[in-house]
Structure 1
Amino acid sequence: MNTKVTKAYQLVACAVLGASAIGCPSHARPICANQTLPELPDVSIASVAEVPAPAPHCKVSGVIGGKINFELLLPENWNGKFVMGGGGGFVGSVMNTSLIDGSLQLGYATVGTDTGHQGHPADASWALNDLEALVNFGHLAVHRTAVTAKALTKAFYEKPIARSYFTGCSRGGGQAIMSAMRYPEDFDAVAAGAYAVDWTGIAVQATQINQAMYPDPNNIEEAVIGPEAQALVESSYLAVCDGLDGLEDGILNDPRKCGFDVASLQCEGDNSEDCLSAREVAAFKAVYDGPKNSDGDSLYYGFPFGGETAEGGWSRWLTGGMKYQDDDGSFQEGVGSGGFDEPVSPSAFFSFGNGIMQNFVYHDPNWTYENFDFGTYAQDSAAAAETLNATNPDLSAYRARGGKMLLYSGWSDNAQSGLAMVGYYEDVLAHDPSAADDIRLFMMPGVEHCFGGPGPSWVNFLVEIDKWAETGEAPDHITALWLDDSAQPAGGRPVCAYPSVAQYDGRGDPRDPASFNCDAGN
């Protein structure tokens, strides 16, 4: 080893051992230089740079296999652990949502990837007739990035990684579960929120909703259901069901317990603002009841009540309309546009339903949902499902090596149905009831997609899975917080491990977690 490289590795060791170690200068820390990183097969390092914020770190940008871009952040004050952060939507730029949890400030080496393609997270055109891109997106890019990043991390610090984690929501939640299923050695614990794991199921759901909201796919100015109808339905079911949990606060602890029938609002005579047309009722039922085939058989989950008037709810994901478009460029919490233009679309589901069908399933950019009847869909989508879906309830290989999995979802999530989260978890327990020792689900009342809504939605899931992995004690509840305008805690409530539900004591402050307990009888 030449003198220059020897000196670089000595400084790395000094950073790990501390400045008081013999021969270490007081300012010693890992230096950002290519010499400190090994050459790995099929990996190209594009740049290495020192970055001062949000905590001093070394940023390593590279490409795997010529297509999979990644960014590895190596903090000056390393805690000995590694976390990979997930992406959102169709990804398309390097994303690392662990940064929302303060992974760098907590001392984690952390990495994100674009999953092997470039584009807006609502644009799937990159997948058209490109099997390699689909496989990378489906599972391989996250695995290759994790393996590469961990090798670089160990070389940089000259020390083994104590624990490896993955945190993600939406697409990132699906990446977490897919990793545990296909590559059980990659991570010791994962947090999977609002996961997108059944892409062909989501496509059915989105397509039937699009058919109901925009019967003419060329007329996307406004949906069959507008903001006024959404507000009418929300206020109507809350009037009946809000107090079922002992609190009238605009939050349903478990919306499945609300028996309100939207058909009760159908107009008997002329349409008015206080009732719904037959077409509006049918569109609402397309959302709540879920997609069905021509025989009336269920094809995928519907959505529970919640999010009808929320900023990040129905109008963003399910209904919308070009006349209501704004220019904020937002997609979901922690997920940006990557600098790419957003596809012209009245709602996120319009983009996702068409994107999956045109580019993942049929590989036909002219495919349209108009008059589509799902008669051969199961066979048509089988190849895409094999690559993209992470619905296998058998997680025994992951659990056998001590893997832990924390699942979570908002009940008012209008991007990925909370019912789908519950369904997958119940499938896991039906396959092996002992899985509850290592896999826990937390359903968050009043919470939208990943974050936001009337319910308390802030939880540091990286801290939660680290605590579980370090202590071996599975959490029976977690505390979710409301945040004020300056992102400071403004009260909280416990979220109980499913199927338990937080019960109000009838006396205390509704924003004090001590006013609630977890009731397994609900």
Structure 2
Amino acid sequence: MLSLYHAALLLLVVWLKPAACSVDQCGSLGAQLSIPNTTVNLSTYEANGTIIRLPGTVESCGGPDLVAHSTANLCRIVLVKATSTSSAVQIEAWLPDRDGWNGRLLATGNGGEGGCIDYATIQNGAGLGFASFGSNAGHNGSQGFDFFLNQPEVIQDFGHRAIHVEAEVAKEIIQQYYGSSVKKSYYAGCSTGGRQGFQNAHLYPEDFDGLLLGSPGVDWLRIVSSKGILARRIGWPDLESQSYVRPEQWKSIVDEQIRQLDPLDGVRDGIIDEPTKYRFDPETLACGTGVLNDSVCLSPQQVNSVRMAYEPIADSSGQIVYPAFELGSNTDVFSSNQKNGSAQLTYTILQDFWRGAVFNDSKWTPNNFSTADMDFALEVNPGGVNAWDSTDLSAFYERGGRIISYHGRNDETVTSALSERFYTTVQSKSNLSLNDIQSFYRLFFIPGMHHCAGGPGAWSIGNAQKYPFDSSRLDPQHNALMALVDWVESGSEPRTLVGTKYEDDDIGGNVVAQRTYCPYPSVSKWDGAGNITIASSWTCVAPSVCNS
């Protein structure tokens, strides 16, 4: 009979053996990984709960003091895959132990002009059992032009190639580490990541089974161009012009839009549910009306500037090509345009990308930006970055792929009307009925949500912009990634999503409101009787009924 000591020792050996095996397997993978044109830079086993320091991260990606958290017992692999003789994509893999892997792959995209690995989504994914991956889209950093200057192949990676490379490498790593093929492949990305996902579905429809795409920057070059065009419309860069609307005036302008338009959806909650439905007359803000005080009220020239700021954008031929900036959204992307008293856009992507990728000219500035500069960029389309040409999703549809897209109606960076246009264009290009398109692609608008996350509304639907997930809301009703998995694997259509607003936006903290959201073209409308902070008080109605 075993003594108590020997029994405990035996249990300890049994408990340690799987971990020791996993450590060995991780080390072996790093040494033996066989993928052409690939170099492994790091292979390390991380126990659940380990703080992972990332000192090599560049400043614009949160470095050098950025840390991540191991959310499972996992093997972490960092590698570089050459995509040409002059370009390469860095890929990070977080591989849960075999007994913790759910058989699924989760790949992630980037934001802005790329260059930063999406650690928040990787952490959440690994914690849920996904073999999770991220990439730097072919360059390190989210600010600057040097990595694009004279680097056409690097531009190709950012433009369209990096996510496909990530998907192929991820599947090969999974095969070699787990000894079996992935069961289902998923992708999650927001903003540029949403753009990358739609491009991938168009160009490489076999890569993923399900795509979760937030605030997608599908018309990327026009999105970025709009910041320069709108800045010029409000008088910039002539800061002394009578037409120039100063940065400090804009909060009062936007607050007044919300005050006037918020009640029109039937609920006074500080949120304009459907800003695309309304027009706003800035004449009401003119000096002398008494609406705004003398320090921020609008001169006649400024009234005209504000009016122009909310008009859609036309190309050089006069054709409308980009929707109007949405009422009630923060305007800093075009109105925060001076530094130390000199003209300078704080939205740096325009200058970076046009310098490095469009004109290949390190001296270029956006101070005289015009629709001709936008049109030229569209003509060049560096790296195939503009995903508006990706509206043919027929191959992805025919193979049974699924897409859940979401977009905040208070998005300050990518106007939500763009998602509406993209959705209807996909439908018309493939000649799909509403039932057909909803059988594989569902779009949810989130009133009161900023760009990708945050805002006054009940915006949290498991958006992987935040770490960690709320572990109490990992069901398909409250978590869009879980809804996507349920749709792909069980055929359960996401009829609604429930968004949650946490106190101080502290995910997992005190819940202050919830709301039911609906697949477009249906809209979420208060039932007129229930508590507006409770999800059951909101129902899905046809758009013709809304605001009646």
TM bracket (short chain): 0.7 to 0.9
What's the counterpart of residue 287 of structure 1?
Answer: 309
Q: Taking structure 1 as reference, are residues 403 and 29 closer, same or farther at Cα in structure 2, changes over 3 Å only?
A: farther
* 1:425 has 2:423 as partner: yes
User: 1:202 is paired with a residue of what secondary structure?
Assistant: helix
Contact 1:85 1:96 in 2 (8 A): no
* 1:238 has 2:258 as partner: yes
Contact 1:205 1:302 in 2 (8 A): no
Question: How far did 1:97 drift?
Answer: 4.6
Q: Distance in 2 between matches of 1:380 and 1:453?
A: 32
What's the counterpart of residue 73 of structure 2?
Answer: 56
What's the counterpart of residue 186 of structure 1?
Answer: 207
TM-score w.r.t. length of structure 1: 0.83
* 1:85-234 alignment, distance < 5 Å: 85-99=108-122, 102-119=124-141, 121-213=142-234, 215-216=236-237, 224-226=244-246, 228-234=248-254
Q: Taking structure 1 as reference, are residues 106 and 410 closer, same or farther at Cα in structure 2, changes over 3 Å only?
A: same
What's the counterpart of residue 258 of structure 1?
Answer: 278
What's the counterpart of residue 347 of structure 1?
Answer: 346
CA deviation map 1:64-108 (0-9, x unaligned): 0062111100012111111011111112233345236x2111011
Q: Taking structure 1 as reference, are residues 299 and 263 closer, same or farther at Cα in structure 2, changes over 3 Å only?
A: farther
Q: Structure 1 stretch 65-74 or stretch 279-288: which is displaced more?
A: 279-288
Q: Distance in 2 between matches of 1:356 and 1:501?
A: 36
Which one of 33, 41, 44 corresponds to residue 46 of structure 1?
A: 41
What's the counterpart of residue 338 of structure 1?
Answer: none
Question: How far did 1:58 drift?
Answer: 0.9
What's the counterpart of residue 481 of structure 2?
Answer: 462
Contact 1:456 1:492 in 2 (8 A): yes
User: 1:125 is paired with a residue of what secondary structure?
Assistant: coil
Contact 1:86 1:98 in 2 (8 A): no
* 1:365-380 alignment, distance < 5 Å: 365-375=362-372, 377-379=374-376
The count of aligned residue pairs is 470
**Aligned partner letter, 1:407:** S
Contact 1:82 1:109 in 2 (8 A): yes
* 1:306-345 alignment, distance < 5 Å: 306-308=328-330, 314-315=331-332, 317-321=333-337
Question: How far did 1:482 drift?
Answer: 0.6
Q: Distance in 2 between matches of 1:376 and 1:319?
A: 20
Which one of 494, 497, 519 corresponds to residue 497 of structure 1?
A: 519
Contact 1:478 1:496 in 2 (8 A): yes
Q: Distance in 2 between matches of 1:151 and 1:112?
A: 15
User: 1:30 is paired with a residue of what secondary structure?
Assistant: helix
User: 1:84 is paired with a residue of what secondary structure?
Assistant: strand
Q: Taking structure 1 as reference, are residues 131 and 285 closer, same or farther at Cα in structure 2, changes over 3 Å only?
A: farther
User: 2:165 is paired with a residue of what secondary structure?
Assistant: helix
Which one of 389, 406, 409 corresponds to residue 407 of structure 2?
A: 409
Q: Distance in 2 between matches of 1:257 and 1:390?
A: 26
User: 1:398 is paired with a residue of what secondary structure?
Assistant: helix
Which one of 490, 503, 515 corresponds to residue 484 of structure 1?
A: 503
Q: Distance in 2 between matches of 1:27 and 1:122?
A: 40
Contact 1:198 1:385 in 2 (8 A): no
CA deviation map 1:388-439 (0-9, x unaligned): 1111321011111111111111111111111111111111112232222111
**Aligned partner letter, 2:38:** V
Q: Distance in 2 between matches of 1:49 and 1:345?
A: 44
User: 1:508 is paired with a residue of what secondary structure?
Assistant: coil
Q: Distance in 1 between matches of 2:257 and 2:109?
A: 35
User: What is the alpha-carbon root mean square deviation over aligned residues?
Assistant: 2.9
CA deviation map 1:329-349 (0-9, x unaligned): xxxxxxxxxxxxxxx96422x
Q: Structure 1 stretch 106-115 or stretch 381-390: which is displaced more?
A: 381-390
Q: Distance in 2 between matches of 1:231 and 1:225?
A: 11
Q: Distance in 2 between matches of 1:322 and 1:374?
A: 22
Q: Distance in 1 between matches of 2:376 and 2:19?
A: 62
List runs of 5+ in structure 1 lacking aligned partners. 1-18, 309-313, 326-343
User: 1:60 is paired with a residue of what secondary structure?
Assistant: strand
Contact 1:414 1:448 in 2 (8 A): yes
**Aligned partner letter, 2:145:** A
Q: Distance in 1 between matches of 2:460 and 2:344?
A: 30
Contact 1:306 1:413 in 2 (8 A): no
TM-score w.r.t. length of structure 2: 0.79
Question: How far did 1:378 drift?
Answer: 3.0
Question: How far did 1:275 drift?
Answer: 2.7
Q: Taking structure 1 as reference, are residues 376 and 492 closer, same or farther at Cα in structure 2, changes over 3 Å only?
A: closer
CA deviation map 1:428-464 (0-9, x unaligned): 1122322221111111101101011111111123222
User: 2:387 is paired with a residue of what secondary structure?
Assistant: coil
What's the counterpart of residue 299 of structure 2?
Answer: 277
Q: Taking structure 1 as reference, are residues 451 and 99 closer, same or farther at Cα in structure 2, changes over 3 Å only?
A: same
What's the counterpart of residue 12 of structure 1?
Answer: none
Q: Structure 1 stretch 462-471 or stretch 283-292: which is displaced more?
A: 283-292
**Aligned partner letter, 1:185:** E
What is the percent sequence identity of the aligned residues? 28
User: 1:127 is paired with a residue of what secondary structure?
Assistant: coil
Q: Distance in 1 between matches of 2:151 and 2:132?
A: 29
Q: Taking structure 1 as reference, are residues 397 and 97 closer, same or farther at Cα in structure 2, changes over 3 Å only?
A: farther
What's the counterpart of residue 104 of structure 2?
Answer: 81
User: 1:447 is paired with a residue of what secondary structure?
Assistant: coil
Q: Structure 1 stretch 359-368 or stretch 146-155: which is displaced more?
A: 359-368
Q: Taking structure 1 as reference, are residues 214 and 359 closer, same or farther at Cα in structure 2, changes over 3 Å only?
A: farther
Contact 1:205 1:301 in 2 (8 A): no
* 1:387-398 alignment, distance < 5 Å: 387-391=384-388, 392-398=390-396
CA deviation map 1:130-160 (0-9, x unaligned): 1101101111111112111111112111122
* Highest RCO, 1 vs 2 (Cα 8 Å, sep ≥ 6): 1
What's the counterpart of residue 442 of structure 1?
Answer: 444
